[in-house]
Amino acid sequence: MISIIQEEFKKRFGEGATCYASPGRVNLIGDHTDYNLGFVLPGAIDKAIYVAIRPTEGPVSRLYSVDYKELLEIDMNGALPDKLWARFIYGVVQEMKKRGATVGAFECVFGGDVPLGAGLSSSAALESVFGYALNDLFGLGFSRADLARIGQMTEHNYVGVKCGIMDEFASLFGQKGKVIRLDCRSLEYELVSFEPVGCRVMLIDSMVKHSLASSEYNVRREQCEAGVAVVAKHVQGVESLRDVTMDMLDTYKSEMEPIVYRRCAYVIHENQRLLEGCEFLKKGDYKAFGQKMFGSHEGLSREYEVSCEELDFIEEIARETPGMLGARMMGGGFGGCVIHLVEEKVHDAYLEEVKSRFQARFGQTPRVIDVVIGDGARKLI
């Protein structure tokens, strides 16, 4: 992919480009906890968005998307672009300018091999690669944590998704063979070794697109905030679900809608599953960690209600398969992928089984994506 992007840059703009990469991510456990200021456990993967970029004179930046085969000329001091993909880049520049940076015009070609629509955060990879590249190219002095915030605020202010910070943080801070236990309130993080010998991380795509994800994502956030508001009336210092215990939630349950209680209970339970799971990883007990993954799926499906029939079907097959350590739906929900931690020796047989049964049930063959935990944003050449 990077050679394709380099050649495309030379053809359109000539020599002198610098190349950067920023990866997509998987999240082993801890979905919908980030915007509730809880914990997440993502890892960068070996699939990324790549950009070849060079400063240029004048007010207009020229952006070519290899994936969309589109060239746009944008004045970054002008109006919000119509094209969605351009809004991510425009938003990064605007957020940098809000923080006092002077970002010059540039020419670039970008593209990637992060599968679209699979919940691997291609949008965060796009924000992160441009944030990292522009920061380096123009000597802006932002830290990786700053760039993660810039990416998050790009989603909020220019795309309309009130996401947490996990995706951008993982794309920027990832390291090969490690996952990131991130505290989304303080942004303190710990790199936890993740090298399960004889196992593979694999995603099976439900082939269902996230048609409800953006709108329902914001609904779930509002429901969690409603639960926090109830507890905060009675308990001093409660600002987010991170501050709420199950005892508190149960005490004031009668003042909440049942659906609000379930949403909040999921988040509290998920944070606890994650912290316990990290301790299992530190002991090298991947089987016990996998059980926390199964528990996460059950919570996402029954309490948070962001799963779908296809995701539940895949997880059920995984749960009954010997050699499957753990599996759960991953991401915003209403489609996307189930992430698996599976022993190498049963990988192929499981794939045959799940493909066959999925085809018989839903009339199509699910996409399979094997991933390796890799490095975060970086300069290539």
Pair (180, 216) in one structural domain: no
105 and 205 inside one domain: no
Same domain, 140 and 288: no
Residues 184 and 229 in one domain: no
Distance from the Cα of residue 61 to its chain's centroid: 28
Give the residues across from 275 on adjacent strands. none
Q: Are residues 355 and 226 in the same domain?
A: yes
The yes-or-no answer on residue 243 being catalytic is no
- Residue 216's domain is classified under what CATH number? 3.30.70.890
Amino acid at 256: M
**Among candidate residues 158, 145, 172, the one with its CA nearest the CA of residue 88:** 158
Do 137 and 210 fall into the same domain?
no
Q: Tell me which residue of 312, 372, 337, 267 sits closest to 116, measured CA to CA.
A: 337
DSSP 193-219: E---TTEEEEEEE-----TTHHHHHHH
Same domain, 99 and 47: yes
Q: Are residues 251 and 220 in the same domain?
A: yes
Which pLDDT does position 115 carry in this prediction?
Answer: 81
For residue 18, the surrounding DSSP H or E stretch is strand 18-27
Residue 208 and residue 165 in one domain: no
Please tell me whether residues 147 and 8 are part of one structural domain.
yes
Residue 254 and residue 304 share a domain: yes
Per-residue confidence (pLDDT) for residue 120, from 0 to 100: 84
Q: How many domains, the chain?
A: 2
- Marked catalytic residue, from 31, 34, 146, 167: 167
CA neighbor of 328 nearest in space, from 361, 357, 304, 346: 304
| pLDDT score recorded for residue 211 | 61
Residue range(s) defining the domain that contains residue 121: 2-195+375-379
Cα-based torsion angle of the residue sequence 307, 37, 342, 312 in order, rounded to the nearest 10 degrees: -10
Kindly report the CATH number assigned to the domain that includes residue 143.
3.30.230.10
| CA–CA–CA angle 252, 253, 254 (5° rounding) | 90
Q: Give the predicted TM-score (pTM) of the model.
A: 0.90
Q: Can you name the residues that pair with 77 across neighbouring β-strands?
A: none
Per-residue tens of pLDDT for the chain, all 381 residues: 899 999 999 999 999 999 999 999 999 999 999 889 999 999 999 999 999 999 999 999 999 999 999 999 999 999 999 999 999 999 999 999 999 999 999 999 999 999 876 778 899 999 999 999 999 999 999 999 999 999 999 999 999 887 778 899 999 999 999 999 999 999 999 999 999 999 999 999 998 876 655 678 889 999 999 999 999 999 999 999 999 999 999 999 999 999 999 999 999 999 999 999 999 999 999 999 999 999 999 999 999 999 999 999 999 999 999 999 999 999 888 888 999 999 999 999 999 999 999 999 999 999 999 999 999 999 998
**DSSP H or E run through 124:** helix 122-137
Task: Calculate the dihedral angle through the C-alpha atoms of 191, 197, 198, 201, rounding to the nearest 10 degrees.
Answer: 0
Q: What is the pLDDT of residue 212?
A: 58
Same domain, residue pair 271 and 143: no
> For the chain, first and last CA: distance in Å?
14
Contact 97/66 with Cβ under 8 angstroms?
A: no
